[in-house]
Structure 1
Amino acid sequence: MTIATQKRPTALAVWLVFAGIVGLIAAFTLTIEKFDAYENPGEGAACDFSVLVQCSANLDAPQGSAFGFPNPIIGLIGWMAPLAVGMAVLAGARFARWFWAAFTLGMTFAFGFVCWLIAQSIFVIGTLCPWCMVTWVVTIPSFYAVLLHSVRIGALPLPRGVRKVADRTMGWVPLISVLSFVIITLMAQVRLDAITSILDTIFA
């Protein structure tokens, strides 16, 4: 069944297009850096700015190839979906509830994977990868927005009251995302003294 009575989620579509483009740029850049590392072993990546802020440690760590191949390849494939969905909605497409449920499942995987990578980066590897952080910045709000949209249109089997709350909460996605970024920043600061290290890198 298509969602004929649901107003077209234009704002969500615009965000998905933006997030898809940014995510693809980050994934493509990291993929190039990984291929360059294969060709020139021992050389640092272009995004290696300091011991703390760098890409090489994350790309070379086992966590950088969680499924047996470089993680950026997942991004190259995965970010096609939000971009395609956003463009389709802007073009007038109306997706069935099952489609939004499946899309939410995919975004949930992406969110969980990113949360795991954040924890690994801060608490295990001990570095902050610039392009990885760009991916975090677009993945987290994308997950919140898609989840809330799916709940409010009834794509997920939840009570009507929960759907109403989700509808009202959509406008709070930017604030919820900022709070999430603050939590990540606090973890990085406590564990790595990240703010001092980043400022030293900028003003060195």
Structure 2
Amino acid sequence: MADSSRRSRPVAFAIFLVIAGVLGLLAAYELSIEKVLTLSDPDHVPACNVGVLVGCSVNLESWQGAVFGFPNPFLGLMAWPAVIVVGMALLAGATFARWFWVLFNVGVAGALVFVAWLIAQSIYVLAVLCPWCMLTWAVTIPVFWAVTLYNLREGHIPVPARIRRLAGIWFKWIPLITVVCYVIVVVLAQVQINAIPLVMIDLQNLF
């Protein structure tokens, strides 16, 4: 007879956390390297500078790129490994107390708020789109929805049964919810800085 703990193990959720964590860590690593190279050599041109609209330099050199007194990517170097560890632990069959899940959810919610602010700054203030920053945005958004809906569905966050059932339904629609969030960001960027044609021009110049 199959082990019931194996059947209830959230394998897909855990794998998603690992993959998202690796992608987020990659973005943080690349941005951190570019920041260090820029500090050591003022003439250094980051490899992620693609064109007028797509590039990292503006973000890295702005005050928005070091909100807490050190480069924002350093936060990613600390935070994304935690996401990977949680995913790997779940794959190994670990279980966590309710307080852990609540704190984890607070962490990813804080990350989403910070990312939303950075998106607004990139679009409305800096008028530039950083490739590695966008990868960070792209993984933070679904991580927030996945963790939050999982916690609501599993009862880690105390809510009425009806909300738990709705969370279980919405959990299956996370890909669509994520795409909708992406579309909103694209629309905002297009309306504010005419992003789509400028990005296409930058990509054409790149290749």
TM-score band, normalised by the shorter chain?
Answer: over 0.9
Q: For the residues of structure 1 that align with 2:19 and 2:132, how far apart are their CA atoms?
A: 16
Q: For the residues of structure 1 that align with 2:73 and 2:164, how far apart are their CA atoms?
A: 35
Give, in angstroms, the shift of residue 8 of structure 1: 1.8
2:178 maps to a residue whose letter is: S
SS across alignment from 1:175: helix
Task: Indicate conservation of the 8 Å contact 1:8/1:94, yes or no.
Answer: no
Task: Indicate conservation of the 8 Å contact 1:114/1:139, yes or no.
Answer: yes
SS across alignment from 1:143: helix
Identity of aligned residues (%): 50
Q: For the residues of structure 2 that align with 1:168 and 1:97, how far apart are their CA atoms?
A: 21
Give, in angstroms, the shift of residue 97 of structure 1: 1.7
Task: Indicate conservation of the 8 Å contact 2:50/2:203, yes or no.
Answer: no
Q: How many residues align?
A: 200
Give, in angstroms, the shift of residue 44 of structure 1: 2.1
Q: For the residues of structure 1 that align with 2:95 and 2:44, how far apart are their CA atoms?
A: 48
2:104 maps to a residue whose letter is: F
Q: Aligned residue for 2:203?
A: 202
Q: For the residues of structure 2 that align with 1:128 and 1:203, how far apart are their CA atoms?
A: 16
Q: Aligned residue for 1:37?
A: 38
1:63 maps to a residue whose letter is: Q
Relative to the length of structure 2, the TM-score reads 0.94
Q: Aligned residue for 1:124?
A: 125
Gaps in structure 2 of 5+ consecutive residues: none
Give, in angstroms, the shift of residue 98 of structure 1: 1.6
CA shift digits 1:144-186 (9 cap, x unpaired)? 0000011111111211110110011111000000000000000
Q: Aligned residue for 2:192?
A: 191
Q: Aligned residue for 1:106?
A: 107
After TM superposition, list the pairs within 5 Å mapping 1:53-72 onto structure 2: 53-72=54-73
Q: Aligned residue for 1:11?
A: 12
Runs of 4+ in structure 1 off by over 2 angstroms are none
Task: Indicate conservation of the 8 Å contact 2:52/2:202, yes or no.
Answer: no
Q: For the residues of structure 2 that align with 1:166 and 1:118, how far apart are their CA atoms?
A: 26
